[in-house]
Amino acid sequence: MIGFTIVLNKRKRHRRKKEENRRKLLYFLPVILIAIFSVCVSVFLKTDETEEKNYSAGDIQVFKTVDDYSAYYNPIVINEFFSYKKGDKIENEVLVRLGVWSILCTEERKKYEVFDGTLSIKKEEVGERVTMLFSDKTDFENVSSGDIIFDEKSECYVVPVMGFSPEYSAVLTSVKAEKGKTKLMVECLKSEGFKQDSFGKTVLPEADKNIIITLDKDRNSYFIESVSEE
Protein backbone atom coordinates (compact mmCIF):
# COMPACT_ATOMS: atom_id res chain seq x y z
CA MET A 1 0.00 0.00 0.00
CA ILE A 2 1.28 3.43 -0.91
CA GLY A 3 0.52 6.30 1.44
CA PHE A 4 0.30 9.94 0.37
CA THR A 5 -0.49 13.26 1.90
CA ILE A 6 -2.51 16.14 0.38
CA VAL A 7 -1.61 19.62 1.61
CA LEU A 8 -4.23 22.37 1.16
CA ASN A 9 -2.97 25.92 1.16
CA LYS A 10 -5.89 28.16 2.14
CA ARG A 11 -3.78 31.28 2.46
CA LYS A 12 -3.08 31.53 -1.24
CA ARG A 13 -6.80 31.39 -2.09
CA HIS A 14 -7.47 34.01 0.56
CA ARG A 15 -4.80 36.22 -0.91
CA ARG A 16 -6.26 35.74 -4.36
CA LYS A 17 -9.65 36.83 -3.08
CA LYS A 18 -8.10 39.90 -1.49
CA GLU A 19 -6.28 40.75 -4.71
CA GLU A 20 -9.48 40.28 -6.73
CA ASN A 21 -11.42 42.51 -4.31
CA ARG A 22 -8.72 45.16 -4.53
CA ARG A 23 -8.87 45.05 -8.32
CA LYS A 24 -12.67 45.43 -8.22
CA LEU A 25 -12.38 48.34 -5.78
CA LEU A 26 -9.81 50.06 -7.98
CA TYR A 27 -12.06 49.45 -10.96
CA PHE A 28 -15.08 51.02 -9.28
CA LEU A 29 -13.15 53.78 -7.47
CA PRO A 30 -13.64 56.41 -10.20
CA VAL A 31 -17.38 55.64 -10.25
CA ILE A 32 -17.58 55.99 -6.45
CA LEU A 33 -15.66 59.28 -6.51
CA ILE A 34 -17.91 60.67 -9.25
CA ALA A 35 -21.00 59.69 -7.26
CA ILE A 36 -19.68 61.37 -4.08
CA PHE A 37 -18.73 64.48 -6.06
CA SER A 38 -22.20 64.63 -7.65
CA VAL A 39 -23.91 64.42 -4.26
CA CYS A 40 -21.71 67.20 -2.86
CA VAL A 41 -22.42 69.44 -5.85
CA SER A 42 -26.18 68.84 -5.64
CA VAL A 43 -26.19 69.68 -1.92
CA PHE A 44 -24.20 72.86 -2.57
CA LEU A 45 -26.49 73.94 -5.39
CA LYS A 46 -29.58 73.16 -3.34
CA THR A 47 -28.55 75.61 -0.63
CA ASP A 48 -28.06 78.32 -3.23
CA GLU A 49 -31.10 77.70 -5.38
CA THR A 50 -33.81 80.31 -5.84
CA GLU A 51 -37.47 79.43 -5.77
CA GLU A 52 -39.98 81.95 -6.99
CA LYS A 53 -43.74 81.84 -6.93
CA ASN A 54 -45.86 84.55 -8.51
CA TYR A 55 -49.44 85.34 -7.60
CA SER A 56 -52.02 86.85 -9.88
CA ALA A 57 -53.99 89.62 -8.17
CA GLY A 58 -57.16 88.42 -9.87
CA ASP A 59 -56.90 85.03 -8.14
CA ILE A 60 -56.50 86.45 -4.65
CA GLN A 61 -59.24 87.20 -2.16
CA VAL A 62 -58.25 90.50 -0.63
CA PHE A 63 -58.07 91.11 3.14
CA LYS A 64 -58.53 87.54 4.36
CA THR A 65 -56.49 85.23 2.18
CA VAL A 66 -55.54 81.93 3.76
CA ASP A 67 -52.30 80.61 2.29
CA ASP A 68 -48.89 79.58 3.57
CA TYR A 69 -47.93 83.17 4.44
CA SER A 70 -51.19 84.99 5.23
CA ALA A 71 -50.55 84.64 8.97
CA TYR A 72 -47.52 86.90 8.45
CA TYR A 73 -48.40 89.55 5.88
CA ASN A 74 -52.08 90.20 6.66
CA PRO A 75 -51.63 91.37 10.28
CA ILE A 76 -48.62 93.45 9.19
CA VAL A 77 -50.64 95.37 6.59
CA ILE A 78 -53.86 95.59 8.63
CA ASN A 79 -51.94 97.15 11.55
CA GLU A 80 -49.69 99.28 9.31
CA PHE A 81 -46.55 97.77 10.81
CA PHE A 82 -44.33 98.87 7.93
CA SER A 83 -40.91 99.23 9.54
CA TYR A 84 -39.05 96.57 11.51
CA LYS A 85 -35.64 94.92 11.83
CA LYS A 86 -34.83 91.87 13.89
CA GLY A 87 -33.90 92.96 17.39
CA ASP A 88 -36.07 96.10 17.40
CA LYS A 89 -38.16 96.58 20.52
CA ILE A 90 -41.87 96.03 19.85
CA GLU A 91 -44.42 97.33 22.35
CA ASN A 92 -46.66 94.70 23.93
CA GLU A 93 -49.78 96.53 22.66
CA VAL A 94 -48.50 96.17 19.09
CA LEU A 95 -47.62 92.51 19.59
CA VAL A 96 -51.15 91.86 20.90
CA ARG A 97 -52.73 93.39 17.80
CA LEU A 98 -50.40 91.54 15.44
CA GLY A 99 -50.91 88.23 17.23
CA VAL A 100 -54.70 88.55 17.42
CA TRP A 101 -55.06 89.58 13.78
CA SER A 102 -52.73 86.80 12.67
CA ILE A 103 -55.20 84.41 14.31
CA LEU A 104 -58.29 86.11 12.90
CA CYS A 105 -56.87 86.06 9.37
CA THR A 106 -56.21 82.32 9.39
CA GLU A 107 -58.70 80.71 11.78
CA GLU A 108 -62.45 80.29 11.58
CA ARG A 109 -64.30 82.57 13.99
CA LYS A 110 -66.65 79.81 15.07
CA LYS A 111 -63.66 78.16 16.71
CA TYR A 112 -63.86 80.77 19.48
CA GLU A 113 -66.56 81.51 22.01
CA VAL A 114 -68.76 84.47 21.11
CA PHE A 115 -70.31 86.74 23.75
CA ASP A 116 -72.36 89.85 22.89
CA GLY A 117 -70.57 90.56 19.60
CA THR A 118 -67.06 89.67 20.84
CA LEU A 119 -64.69 86.74 20.47
CA SER A 120 -62.80 85.15 23.34
CA ILE A 121 -59.27 83.99 22.51
CA LYS A 122 -57.08 82.29 25.11
CA LYS A 123 -53.89 84.12 26.05
CA GLU A 124 -51.83 81.02 25.22
CA GLU A 125 -52.96 81.17 21.59
CA VAL A 126 -52.02 84.83 21.27
CA GLY A 127 -48.66 84.18 22.91
CA GLU A 128 -47.97 81.27 20.55
CA ARG A 129 -48.84 83.43 17.55
CA VAL A 130 -46.52 86.23 18.73
CA THR A 131 -43.73 83.65 19.07
CA MET A 132 -44.48 82.36 15.57
CA LEU A 133 -44.29 85.88 14.13
CA PHE A 134 -41.12 87.07 15.88
CA SER A 135 -39.46 83.91 17.33
CA ASP A 136 -39.26 82.71 20.91
CA LYS A 137 -36.67 85.37 21.75
CA THR A 138 -39.35 88.08 21.80
CA ASP A 139 -40.34 89.47 25.19
CA PHE A 140 -44.11 89.53 25.54
CA GLU A 141 -46.58 90.31 28.30
CA ASN A 142 -50.36 90.01 28.15
CA VAL A 143 -51.91 93.50 28.05
CA SER A 144 -54.98 95.21 26.62
CA SER A 145 -54.53 96.98 23.29
CA GLY A 146 -57.17 99.45 22.17
CA ASP A 147 -60.47 97.62 21.66
CA ILE A 148 -58.78 94.28 22.33
CA ILE A 149 -59.19 93.75 26.07
CA PHE A 150 -57.21 91.28 28.15
CA ASP A 151 -59.46 89.78 30.85
CA GLU A 152 -57.19 88.67 33.69
CA LYS A 153 -59.97 86.67 35.34
CA SER A 154 -60.64 84.39 32.35
CA GLU A 155 -57.09 84.82 30.99
CA CYS A 156 -58.56 85.49 27.55
CA TYR A 157 -58.52 88.30 25.04
CA VAL A 158 -61.92 89.81 24.29
CA VAL A 159 -62.01 90.91 20.65
CA PRO A 160 -64.87 92.88 19.02
CA VAL A 161 -66.10 91.33 15.78
CA MET A 162 -67.62 94.53 14.42
CA GLY A 163 -66.57 98.14 14.01
CA PHE A 164 -63.04 97.64 12.66
CA SER A 165 -62.19 99.04 9.24
CA PRO A 166 -58.48 98.87 8.31
CA GLU A 167 -57.00 101.52 6.08
CA TYR A 168 -55.14 98.96 3.98
CA SER A 169 -55.84 95.53 2.58
CA ALA A 170 -53.04 93.20 1.48
CA VAL A 171 -52.34 91.43 -1.80
CA LEU A 172 -49.44 89.00 -1.94
CA THR A 173 -47.81 89.40 -5.35
CA SER A 174 -44.74 87.18 -5.16
CA VAL A 175 -42.68 84.91 -2.93
CA LYS A 176 -38.93 84.52 -3.40
CA ALA A 177 -36.87 82.01 -1.42
CA GLU A 178 -33.10 82.19 -1.50
CA LYS A 179 -30.34 81.05 0.86
CA GLY A 180 -32.68 80.29 3.73
CA LYS A 181 -34.52 83.63 3.49
CA THR A 182 -38.03 84.05 2.12
CA LYS A 183 -39.15 87.43 0.79
CA LEU A 184 -42.82 88.28 0.51
CA MET A 185 -43.68 91.08 -1.91
CA VAL A 186 -46.96 92.60 -0.75
CA GLU A 187 -49.12 95.37 -2.18
CA CYS A 188 -51.02 97.58 0.28
CA LEU A 189 -54.31 98.72 -1.22
CA LYS A 190 -56.36 101.53 0.31
CA SER A 191 -59.62 99.97 1.41
CA GLU A 192 -61.63 102.99 0.28
CA GLY A 193 -60.31 102.55 -3.27
CA PHE A 194 -62.17 99.30 -4.00
CA LYS A 195 -64.90 99.58 -6.64
CA GLN A 196 -67.24 97.32 -8.58
CA ASP A 197 -67.61 97.17 -12.33
CA SER A 198 -70.89 96.84 -14.22
CA PHE A 199 -70.81 93.07 -13.71
CA GLY A 200 -70.54 93.39 -9.94
CA LYS A 201 -66.93 92.23 -9.82
CA THR A 202 -64.53 93.93 -7.44
CA VAL A 203 -61.96 96.15 -9.14
CA LEU A 204 -58.72 96.45 -7.21
CA PRO A 205 -57.19 99.92 -6.85
CA GLU A 206 -53.54 100.61 -7.54
CA ALA A 207 -51.20 99.85 -4.68
CA ASP A 208 -50.65 102.79 -2.35
CA LYS A 209 -47.59 101.09 -0.84
CA ASN A 210 -45.38 98.11 -1.63
CA ILE A 211 -43.68 96.34 1.25
CA ILE A 212 -41.15 93.54 1.57
CA ILE A 213 -41.43 91.10 4.47
CA THR A 214 -38.33 88.95 4.94
CA LEU A 215 -38.82 85.66 6.76
CA ASP A 216 -36.01 83.66 8.34
CA LYS A 217 -36.19 80.07 9.52
CA ASP A 218 -35.79 78.97 13.12
CA ARG A 219 -35.72 75.18 13.36
CA ASN A 220 -38.81 74.21 11.32
CA SER A 221 -40.80 77.46 11.46
CA TYR A 222 -40.54 80.94 9.94
CA PHE A 223 -40.32 84.22 11.78
CA ILE A 224 -40.25 87.83 10.58
CA GLU A 225 -36.73 89.16 10.19
CA SER A 226 -37.59 92.54 8.68
CA VAL A 227 -40.37 94.66 7.23
CA SER A 228 -39.65 97.59 4.89
CA GLU A 229 -41.28 99.67 2.19
CA GLU A 230 -40.02 99.06 -1.32
Residue 49 DSSP SS3: coil
Residues 6 or more apart from 9 whose CB is under 8 A from it?
none
Q: What is the pLDDT of residues 91-113, one digit of tens each?
A: 999 999 999 999 988 877 667 76
pLDDT at 191 over 70: yes
> Could you tell me which residue, 41 or 24, shows the higher pLDDT?
24
What is the residue type of 217?
Answer: K
pLDDT-derived band at 24 (thresholds 50, 70, 90) equals very low
Whether the CB-CB separation of 97 and 159 falls below 8 Å is answered with: no
Q: What is the pLDDT of residues 193-219, one digit of tens each?
A: 878 878 888 788 888 999 999 999 877
pLDDT at 49 over 50: no
Closest of 130, 65, 71, 68 to residue 97, by C-alpha: 130
Beta strands in 88-196 (DSSP E): 113-115, 118-122, 149-151, 156-160, 168-178, 181-190, 195-196
pLDDT at 68 over 70: yes
| Whole-number pLDDT of residue 36 | 39
Q: What is the pLDDT of residues 124-149, one digit of tens each?
A: 999 999 999 999 889 999 999 999 99
Which secondary structure element, helix H or strand E, spans residue 227, and what is its range? Answer: strand 221-229
| Measured distance CA(38)–CA(31) in Å, rounded | 11
pLDDT at 173 over 60: yes
Mean of pLDDT over the chain:
76
> Could you tell me which residue, 140 or 12, shows the higher pLDDT?
140
Whether the CB-CB separation of 207 and 170 falls below 8 Å is answered with: no
